[in-house]
């Protein structure tokens, strides 16, 4: 049941990304181009996502398990530090340059566009580098 729920959630999320235009790098870059031909339509998509996340978070905070019985793991801190700022800046720069963020990048692989495939390869490579650096850091601290 958990895998079916995950599959359906992913399909609905991917469909939402496609319908909203989040898988179109030109639309994303148009949203980010506030000094040129700015396209505010993705702001409404983001507002909708923020509203869903806000109310979902309120419900999740009062529960210990998901509806499928898995534990709910929420962040234990809300501290803003240099790692968060650097990670956010890196994400934003990558999003602005490529026109993709992780979800739309993965959904766009199905289009067969080379740019989407290269983006996902670069994203996964960055994640792997991060994991290696974190494991080296934890070994140095122990």
pLDDT tens per residue across span 89-132 = 988 888 888 888 898 999 888 888 899 999 999 999 999 999 99
Nearest alpha-carbon partner for 102 in 27, 42, 14: 14
How many residues are given for the chain? 142
Report field, pTM of the whole predicted structure over 0.85: no
- For residue 36, the model assigns a pLDDT of 86
DSSP 42: H
What is the C-alpha separation between 81 and 87, in angstroms, rounded?
Answer: 10
The crossing angle, in degrees rounded to 10, of helices 41-61 and 25-32 is 90
Question: In angstroms, how far is CA 6 from the centroid of its own chain?
Answer: 16
Per-residue pLDDT for 17 more than 90?
Answer: no
Closest CA to 43 of 55, 30, 24: 30
């Amino acid at each position: 049941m958990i895998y079916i729920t995950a599959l359906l959630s992913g399909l609905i999320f991917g469909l939402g990304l496609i319908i909203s235009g989040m898988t179109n790098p030109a639309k994303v870059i148009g949203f980010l181009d506030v000094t040129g031909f700015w396209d505010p339509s993705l702001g409404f998509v983001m507002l909708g996502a923020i509203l869903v996340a806000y109310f979902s978070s309120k419900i999740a905070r009062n529960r210990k398990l998901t509806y499928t019985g898995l534990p709910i793991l929420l962040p234990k801190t809300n501290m803003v530090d240099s790692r968060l700022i650097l990670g956010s800046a890196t994400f934003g720069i990558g999003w602005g340059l490529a026109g993709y963020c992780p979800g739309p990048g993965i959904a766009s692989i199905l289009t067969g566009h080379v740019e989407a495939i290269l983006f996902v390869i670069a994203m996964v490579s960055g994640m792997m580098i991060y994991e290696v650096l974190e494991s080296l850091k934890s070994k140095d601290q122990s």
